[in-house]
Structure 1
């Protein structure tokens, strides 16, 4: 084990000499010296420490701490986590077709299932509470622990102990991981006014082929515009994003280039194929989770005035990673450069830097420094802080568990609506949970008041702070129409997911999705669409 630990560190440190600056003797001596110190430290611990040690775990902790000094995306990938990274490259992973969510009390629930996969076949349901995995209490497990179990080496079994609301006792399920193909396209649909819609989940292997097939199916239905939904798309393979955009742009166009400190790592991605339709109006839906390859596709389209962006500012992940194989089947995901869009702007978010202006092909002003800024900014789907807090606590999921247990004949179809009776039941559920929302500002006001009281501050100042707390308390509890609509949409999606799963529920909520409706409105009025692609007169 000691030999393995030192060997991994040896490969990690000696990867550095490939860079020209590492040829400097002083730097070479410095990292060689530190490598020897690390090896001697591990050796001393092995020989003399009072307890036995898990050197693989210690080594992972040491490497993670080292890489944390660099950037968030340079990471060490041990053999046990390799499957999590392989699925983007191959389009497959070992799993059971289940998504889980953990609330603030560390309870783990099944939040989605994939049709036809082991978890669904075994009889698990959305809303089931997972108490134990292979006898281990899930409250003691981190999100990384859960990910390693539900995405891992195929053909390996594990056992779930599950509690289902409304049923006594617990249930045991023995599941075996199988190879699961990633669904790059969540779904596609023909919307009102002959507008096509494609939900592009991520850019894994074969994403472009899946996307083009979905587009051709819609094109055969004579669509007049296309919505490409990149919300929640965390990226993946850049070349797949380039091929997707290629459907709407001529061959040979520069989509993005990488700029590195080492010139040989620089690369320019261009469209390589004949386009399918260079005229169809496009809208890209983006949000704060749209990242990397998703930002490249949407950003390049914006730079060439090839489409309109609607939603929220994107994540801002514009760093290039290269996966370097190390020994013992481990890997290093290493940041080697930055992505630069055709206008010259970078994607990477720079919180402390001013937004720098650039111009699109047609002269519109776009900015770098805060991800991509949509042409039409809209509030996030979940904008109300109270509802966002309830969602994080998984109250919506738990409420639907209880409601469906008590109303077994509820009809779930396209006509299902969240009416007054369901809203009243939800409010009663919150009361039974003794739910009180305290906003971050309210917490600060309370802490400040308590500090002033402790220091014998004036009564007038204490009373003033109490009034401010009360005003803040009242303002966040006044449920306005926007918040009510958010809640109804969430509840409807949760109910429908129990029959149609998440993707089916999302599809049935498209005609209530504010950003989708805005995109349909823009695409169905061509003069408005074209006006958005022109520079503002100043």
Structure 2
């Protein structure tokens, strides 16, 4: 347990930041008009706001020195937002652009994934049918310079490298080094729109059981989900596992549309919103799903938040799905995005959402320090490892549609608890993970033909050649005790296999290798098998 706790402590802050930065968007007000202060009826506390407005006016008209209005305004806005709830925030510059790209489902680029390892920018992914693929770039190439900016050997972090990528024009001038080549090459690549999917994988797991993973809820998630579901139904899938683990949320409208495809009854209250300045709004089922599904299972964990909690909570309340995993994050605040010019925006909490039973699952945030450390507290209490360690307040319960008591203010508690396991807790920022990724980028180009030939073999990932390659890989990298303080051969093989599958763009193969190692996914598969009487995997 100490090993799992250490891994969780390292990985948790990144996921928390993603949850805080994603939230659940009710909508985007790109051209919303600022309320006319003179026409708004005065309320208690308006005098204090008048002081702020007057201060700005005096500074602009009377201050006798130079001002950096940009830094002052950003600092003032950030200070204001920090004193609101944890999910209201300011986005400016590259953060604003990145958020719009992610929610919009596309960005202007060349179609690569990169990672900064040991002060070197490595290409770790080349998307198919993109300018990068057409240019001849390959996985494992080292990017030395972007236009006139040196990027390798400059002690750059990932964010600094990202800022350089985003500052480029429509045509990139890349200087790069191919593995095994001592002479740098140069190429010019024109950008074009690159699609970013929020449904990275869907596949048929067994005879009538399908699987769809939703990474986040963006503007095209419903369409991507339906496209994937249609393919599975054509393959005679009747039961479905939807994986929203580590899903930080996103578009409220998209999750409502998906819910309508999973509830066959008409005019059923699915979710409603209410707020101080937001009139109660109910969302009811249309009763017109395109496909009929039998068993539904939703996979969740402590990093499933916001819109993903709506999906799980609504289906649980209505008795439509079995929730498998661990207690979710606990976020029930709803934001709207308001544009501040063309390169900045406010993500402002405008209301709360409630599940059909009236449940409000938002955990308390009156103590911000405690709120930021709440997931770590769960780990220290043993909640992620033992079902008996999940402490719920019996006085804060409401009955759902099946008269099952459900907790209020504590996220969505799963119907079937599955503890944190060694596979899902492999920390991508650990020395072992980084070492394996870096060495694999060197190993792959040298064994490209041998590795790619395995794709033509049935069930190639189970082929003995993979074990042979993994053994050869481990011998070549010669892991020392600092990177591998215990017998970590199984972890290295898993990282090696998943890394190879990622390089090959084989998400399905990567998932299939995880089925036996991923305790949570395995539990869901076995639950469906038990209910249907089919044979377990």
Q: What is the SS of the residue equivalent to 1:222?
A: coil
Cα distance, 1:189–1:67 mapped onto 2, change above 3 Å? same
1:435 corresponds, among 482, 485, 499, to 482
Deviation of 1:244 after TM superposition, in Å, equals 0.9
Q: TM-score, normalising length from structure 1?
A: 0.73
Larger RCO: 1 or 2 (CA < 8 Å, sep 6+):
2
- How many residue pairs match? The answer is 465
The Cα of 1:282 is off from its aligned counterpart by 0.5
RMSD of aligned C-alpha atoms? 3.8
- Which one has a larger percent helix, Structure 1 or Structure 2? 1
Q: Structure 1 pair 147/365, CA: closer, same or farther in 2 (3 Å)?
A: farther
Query: By how many angstroms is 1:281 displaced?
Result: 0.4
Is the CA contact 1:129–1:162 (under 8 Å) kept in the aligned structure 2?
Answer: yes
SS at match of 1:394: helix
Report the equivalent of 1:422: 470
Q: Name the structure 1 match of 2:406.
A: 366
Paired position in structure 2 for 1:517: 522
Distance verdict in 2 for CA 1:198–1:371, change over 3 Å: same
Larger CA Rg, structure 1 vs 2: 1
* TM score, norm. by length of structure 2: 0.73
Instruction: Please state how far the C-alpha of 1:436 moved relative to its aligned partner.
Output: 4.6
**CA deviation map 1:130-189 (0-9, x unaligned):** 444331436555544545565689x72334443444332434443333222332432322
Q: Is 1:336 matched up with 2:341? A: no
**Matched residues in 1 for 2:431 and 2:510: separation?**
16
How many angstroms apart in 1 are the aligned matches of 2:429 and 2:100?
A: 33
SS in 2 for 1:116: coil
Cα 1:517/1:257, change in 2 over 3 Å: same
Give secondary structure in 2 for the equivalent of 1:306: coil
Report the 3-state secondary structure (helix = DSSP H, G, I; strand = E; otherwise coil) of the residue aligned with 1:205: coil
Cα distance in 2, alignment partners of residues 505 and 72 from structure 1: 38
Match of 1:443 in 2: none
Structure-2 separation of matches of 1:179 and 1:245: 30
Deviations 1:494-537 (A, max 9, x none): 01222225x354344354452333222211221799xxxxxxxx
Q: Give the equivalent residue in structure 2 for 1:274.
A: 288
Where do residues 382-531 of structure 1 align in structure 2 (5 Å cutoff)?
389-390=429-430, 394-411=434-451, 412-413=454-455, 414-417=459-462, 418-419=466-467, 422-423=470-471, 425-426=473-474, 429=477, 431=479, 435-436=482-483, 477-479=485-487, 485-500=490-505, 503-509=507-513, 511-512=515-516, 514=518, 515-526=520-531
Deviations 1:76-112 (A, max 9, x none): 3336554423345543322322233345x55443333
The equivalent residue for 2:50 is 29
C-alpha displacement at 1:116, in angstroms?
Answer: 0.9
In structure 2, distance between residues paired with 1:211 and 1:276: 12
Q: In structure 2, which of residues 77, 89, 92 is the aligned counterpart of residue 75 of structure 1? A: 89
CA distance 1:237–1:423, shift in 2 (3 Å): same
Whether the aligned pair in 2 keeps the contact of 1:92 and 1:180 (CA below 8 Å) is: yes
- Are 1:132 and 1:160, in contact at CA under 8 Å, matched by a contact in 2? yes
